[in-house]
Structure 1
Amino acid sequence: MTRLEQNYSEKVVPALQKEFGYKSPMQIPKLKFVSLNMGLGEGSQNNKLIEEAVNELTLIASQKAVITRAKKSIAAFKLREGMPVGVRVTLRRDMMWDFYDKLVNFALPRVRDFRGIPDRGFDGRGNFTLGIKEHSIFPEINIDKVENIKGMNITVVTTAGTDKEGKTLLTLLGMPFKK
């Protein structure tokens, strides 16, 4: 059991049950999975960029990243069906808890002029998506060896039914939302 998962069991679950008055422990929201995604527009022409992104995302997530490919051809973007357009990885269980802990406690505080995360990223069902402009905020990335700074989307999927429940869960787990 990871440190954050133990914190969830001992402190977050009772706090959520008290605040929302859940009758069954199965109603209490929890994290389902965390999805990391890098969209690489020029990756369709540059195969080295895709390989670099796979290696860096694998370092960040501690799990092998998968190349995503175009589903349709789009002539205006010089894109053909099946060309590589991005990289993604989905984390579950212990890997998810470790990554979330690293994101909240190590990576986000390294963002320049960090004042918290806006809570606009909720989707109406308790899931939260966060966009990061520089993947170099993660401690695994050696900034001297990075050729291209890439952005990424991080989606935290929860079992919460509403945005209020999801925000409360993430706040109790340490997500630094703006006041």
Structure 2
Amino acid sequence: MSTIDLKKQYQKEIRPVLQKEFSEKNILATPSIKKVVINVGIGKILNNASSSKNAEDLLNDIKKDLSLITGQWPKETKAKKSIASFKIREGQTVGLAVTLRGQKMYDFIVRLIHIVLPRIRDFKGIPLKNLDNYGNLNIGISEASIFPEVNSSVLRHPFGLQITIVTNEKNKEKVVSMLKLLGFPIKIKK
């Protein structure tokens, strides 16, 4: 099985195509991906845990699964202030976050494009509305069990994750062109 080195492919093939397509004089002016941020909201999961020991075990299980998915240990996100209606206390862990850069980022993108997205039931492509005004692509995945690294039979509590692909370009047309060349299944409205 051959592996795809997306970083080399981007630098050697995709970047020159983007430079020519948008008539950029400097190759560094072409759009590129700066980082990939993966977030998991776990406030509700931990609130539903029967005891604090059970909540701690759940948190550790989700951390392990997220580290298997990303190849990096997640950082805990704490609540900045208490919100009674959400049953959140200040300082309580409400999420986990991982920021990927460099080769790990490109490896994650390859797995996302070629393995994870095709495994989503009734997936018809990423809609253009998932691109924000800053050129970032947001993808929500409702079940982390579609990642091959996560053993769904051992998974005690299913969790979803939010993937944000941060680019250095604000122009949506340029970002869409780059993402298509990278292999993202972007759905163009008809």
TM-score range, shorter chain: over 0.9
AA matched with 2:73: K
Alignment of structure 1 residues 28-177 onto 2, 5 Å = 28-45=30-47, 46-177=55-186
Matching residue within 13, 16, 28 for 1:14: 16
Structure 1 contact 43–84 (Cα < 8 Å) conserved: no
TM-score normalised over the length of structure 2: 0.89
1:24-56: CA deviations, max 9, x gaps? 112011110000000113244333322221111
Structure 1 residue runs of 5 or longer lacking an equivalent are none
- Distance of 2:173 and 2:59 partners within structure 1: 37
- Identity percentage over the alignment? 42
Partner of 2:51: none
* Root mean square deviation, CA, Å: 1.3
Question: What displacement does 1:59 show?
Answer: 0.4
1:104-127: CA deviations, max 9, x gaps? 111111111222111211111211
Structure 1 contact 126–163 (Cα < 8 Å) conserved: yes
Q: How many residues align?
A: 178
1:47-90: CA deviations, max 9, x gaps? 33222211111000000111111011111122110001011100
- Distance of 1:86 and 1:48 partners within structure 2: 15
- Which stretch has the larger CA shift, 137-146 or 157-166? 157-166
TM-score normalised over the length of structure 1: 0.94
AA matched with 1:62: G
- Distance of 1:120 and 1:47 partners within structure 2: 37
